[in-house]
Amino acid sequence: MRLAFFALCFGLGVFHAEIRFGHRTATWRAPRAALENATDVFFTGDAGRLGATRARPPYDDEACLGPPKFLLYLHDAHETRAHPAVRRRAAALRAPPFCYEVTALDYRGFGDSGGVPDSVAGLAADARVVFRSLRERAPAGVGAVVVYARGRLGAAVALALARRACRRPDPRLAPPTALLLEAAYDARVRPGALDGCSEARIFQFHGGGSPTLALGRALAARIAARPAPASFLVTPGAGDAAFDAALPAVGAFLAAGAPAGGGSCPG
């Protein structure tokens, strides 16, 4: 019992350090490879300026015709929006058949965003600023914004964002109708923590070659305690290979939640 207690304390301490100090290795660097049709945009949060990159889909492609669709990308602790993994995923999700306008956020203290990453709650507050902006831009009758989160930190921020939206109703901050969690794990998520988000569909995938697979399964079990649909997929490999392998299932998940008529966000 004592050993388990110390292990738990150590795990929470490491996660806190990951938030406070992991960003120091995730400083802003100009990307080596340009992300097509992308621009830097900035928002104002309670900790200062928030940097983000917005990648628009190719609207001249027939596959991307229709009302715009929005996706908020939340990166992991060792990344910024300039990280190759972030840009690879943004490039895939902006392209057909997905056709999302992808906004990749740098939390406070990451990249060129101001402030210091003090807590998951603080980072989730940053995500809410951008999420609310995307919600307000979504066409009437569509209104959904998909949230894509990667790794332990991305998942923690995404789930905190969803919990807040569910528990404090706000017309400008309706809960995301779809959460995509890649290689996610967060031991602090309690069963039933998202019970109020009955409309929030969650798709979680994890590389079979990842050392955190068992922790990902544990998070999936906690998420499954919710009444809303949730899926967990193990794909071959890890990292970029796992992402590439998951893309067909991600597409099917998003398409299954989209209203009839095409070109609209999952709902």
For 43-83, the pLDDT digits (tens) are 999 989 999 999 999 989 999 988 889 999 999 999 999 99
The answer to whether residue 2 scores a pLDDT higher than 50 is no
CA 185 to chain centre: 13
Contact 58/76 with Cβ under 8 angstroms?
no
Entry pTM:
0.84
Contact 181, 204 (CB under 8 A): yes
So what's the pLDDT on residue 126? 97
149 confidence band (pLDDT: 50, 70, 90): very high
Q: Where are the alpha helices (DSSP H) in 25-150?
A: 84-94, 120-137
Instruction: Work out whether strand 70-74 and strand 145-150 pair parallel, antiparallel, or are unpaired.
Output: parallel
pLDDT in tens, 89-98: 999 999 999 9
Residue ranges of domains in the chain, CATH in brackets? 2-256 (3.40.50.1820)
Residue 38 exposure: Cα atoms within 13 Å on the Cβ side:
25
The CB density around residue 191, as the number of other CB atoms within 10 Å, is 12
